[in-house]
Amino acid sequence: MNYLYPVFNTTSLSSFDSPYLEGFKGKTGEVAFFIDGEANRHYFLGLGDPKHHLEVIQTVRSFIFKQKENLSTGVKIKFLGGQEYLSDIVQGAYLSDYSIGYLKGEQLEFPSIDFEADASDVERGQHFARAIKRIMRWGDAPGNHKTPQKLAEWIKASGEENGFQVEVFDKAACENLGMHALLGVGRGSRENPPVFCVLKYTHPEATKTVGLVGKGVTFDTGGVSLKPGDNMNYMKSDMGGAAAVAGTLEVAARLGLKINLIGAIPITENCIDSYAIKPGDVISSYSGKTIEVINTDAEGRLILADALSYITDKYHTDVLIDLATLTGNAIMALGYKAAALISPNDELAQSLFHAGLKTGEKVWRMPHWDEYKDALKSDIADLKNLAGSPIGGAINAGKFLQEFIREHQAWAHLDIAGTAFMDSEFGSMKSATGFGVRLLVEYLESQGA
Ligand code: BES
Ligand code: ZN
Ligand code: ZN
């Protein structure tokens, strides 16, 4: 049998009388190992003094993934304390059998995992791992395997399995609603038209409703304002916001959080054919505002505009948060370690910031002042989708979205372009992270949900 002991720098190992543990300090990622007289293998994995929950999850996930051959007969995880991080250890362990190579003929073998722990901690870790693995798979699915229809089906299936409602508006229904901005972006994809999903999770004791909006571009070529070819393959990940929203509803439903959630997910490809919108076109939107499309590659803000004005038109929400892989500029500003946060509401911004520090899914606030709005003035329409110059792009994009929230008083925008898809132990290419679920669930729980 293989045993794995997570060790924090405060954990006592005095009960193990083994010379192999001499000098082992339990520093993050440090490993000690011995085989006992009955051929049992004992692994000690250092978790140090964690800065946040994600560090624990990732250390465990990465260790088991990398050791999968040595652990092939199965692993039993034994806890020596660290109660606060127990469900993270479970989560990390269950995430370790994720594979980005699921379309290969030959599949990797993963060890079975067992725990000696309270059922409630194990369950919590499992709920997160299941939801996050599900949405990582969506993120890593190639564009031709996740058309808008397919992604909507996956969201619907998750709703049925996990206990939230999903309403899917097809192209005709979007036309009836007047979702001209979403439909405009979708014009370049006649075979795979846009859809709009509304997700609902309710709890009988809930006193608050939170709206969550996620960008669901299943592939972003840039449209007629075509992107350069290098790394364009990664634009299959342009639905990380949609994934985060669906994943959050899954975990909220599984944990039975005392909150009502309304999710709004506009889904489309951003492709090119003769019907596609062109730079300079003026389109309408659900809100009635007209938009001059300066650059068809700034498509995320167009589809979010419709989703934000739809949700603020149809529902009362106490808090409204959107998540989107919206701008390369957010990556230029913050790299891959934090999402850009834009919100005029100090309290909400603070709560999200603290939820980020605690979970490790960090967000950093950018300016939100109205001076930035000037860049969106158009001579021929109510506003344009792109400022003249590429500077301050993440902020400008956020200010654009703010035009569609009907003056909602507690709105936050998270640009997750850098955090939704990045390098990992799973392969040499970048892969989906599931960013946002842990952050949002922590935020909801911190608000008493
Ligand atoms: N999906 C991209 C943003 C993106 C870039 C996400 C890199 C993940 C990694 C978005 O639709 C886009 O193309 N944004 C443009 C906006 C520009 C035309 C104002 C960008 O960031 O270059
Ligand atoms: Zn784009
Ligand atoms: Zn995009």
Identify the pLDDT of residue 117. Answer: 85
Q: Report whether pLDDT(390) > 90.
A: no
- Residues of 164-181 as b/e, b for ≥16 C-beta within 10 angstroms? bebebbebeebeebbbbb
Residues with CB under 6 A from ligand 1: 220, 222, 238, 295, 297-300, 325-329, 386, 393, 417
Closest CA to 212 of 287, 366, 323: 323
Residue 17: pLDDT over 90: no
113-116 and 75-78 strand pairing? parallel
Ligand 1 atom 14 nearest Cα: 327
Average pLDDT of every residue of the chain: 97
Q: Write out pLDDT tens, residues 81-138.
A: 899 999 999 999 999 999 999 999 999 899 999 998 888 889 999 999 999 999 999 9
Residue of 314, 323, 329, 358 whose CA lies nearest to 341: 323
Can you tell me the mean pLDDT for 201-208? 98
Per-residue buried b or exposed e for 265-294, using 16+ beta carbons within 10 Å of the residue's own CB: bbbbbbbbeeebbeeebebbbbbebbbbbb
Pocket test for ligand 1, best of 295, 327, 431 (most atoms within 8 A of CB): 327
Q: Work out the number of other CB atoms within 10 angstroms of the CB of residue 393.
A: 22
Question: Ligand 1 centroid to 327 CA: how many Å?
Answer: 4
Please say if the pLDDT value at position 65 is more than 90. yes
Q: What are the distances in angstroms from CA 132 to CA 94, 240, 249, 295, 445?
A: 10, 11, 11, 33, 18
* Smallest CA separation from ligand 1 atom 5, residue: 328
- Tens of pLDDT, residues 323-342: 999 999 999 999 999 999 99
pLDDT of residue 118: 85
pLDDT at site 389: 78
**387 confidence band (pLDDT: 50, 70, 90):** confident
pLDDT number for residue 227: 98
Is the pLDDT at 285 greater than 90? The verdict is yes
Residue 377 neighbours by CB distance under 10 Å = 12
Nearest CA to ligand 1 atom 3: 327
Q: pLDDT above 90 covers what percent of the chain? A: 96
What's the length of the chain? Answer: 449
- Reference 439, options 163, 251, 258; nearest CA is 251
